[in-house]
Amino acid sequence: MLKENNIRMTVFLGTALVDMYAKCGEVHLGVEVFEGMKGKNVLVWTTMIKGLAMLGRGSDSLMLVSQRRAQVLSRMTLPSLARSVRAHALGWLTRVGSFSIPWSTTMVLNQR
C-alpha cells in the first residue's frame, strides 16, 4: 500500500508501523516492515525486539538482540576503540592523582 501511494518509508513511519502491527498481534507484518527498512535506528530495533517478546516469540527477539549487538560491534573500529581506551585511562589517572602535565598534554594533543 505504501508503494502504491508513493509514500516514502521513513524511520519514524517504519517504527510506528512495527509497533502498531505488534500491538495488533500481527507481528509477522511488523517483521516485514522491519526487514524492508533501511537505516534502522535504536528505536526501531527496540520496538521490533519488544514486539516479538510481547507476543511470545522470545527466541526470535533474542536472536534479533544478537544481530543488533553484532552490528554495533562491527562498526567499532580500532581507532575508535583506541580513543575510548585513551579517554578511560586519562579519567582513571586523574581520579587516582597520577595525572602529570607533560604526559596529559601529549595525550590531549594526539587525540583526533
Q: Count the domains in the chain.
A: 2
Query: Higher confidence at residue 46 or residue 94?
Result: 46
**SS (HEC) of 10-71:** CHHHHHHHHHHHHHCCCHHHHHHHHHHCCCCCHHHHHHHHHHHHHCCCHHHHHHHHHHHHHH
- pLDDT for position 22: 93
The verdict on 70 and 30 lying in the same domain is: yes
In which residue are the cell numbers 527466541 written? 59
The verdict on 90 and 58 lying in the same domain is: no
Contact 54, 22 (CB under 8 A): yes
pLDDT digits (tens, 9 = 90+) for 10-49: 899 999 999 999 999 999 999 999 999 988 888 999 999 9
Among 39, 40, 17, 42, which residue's Cα sits nearest to residue 30? Answer: 17
Note down the domain range covering 38: 11-75
The verdict on 82 and 71 lying in the same domain is: no
pLDDT digits (tens, 9 = 90+) for 70-79: 777 666 666 6
pTM given for the model: 0.62
The verdict on 47 and 102 lying in the same domain is: no
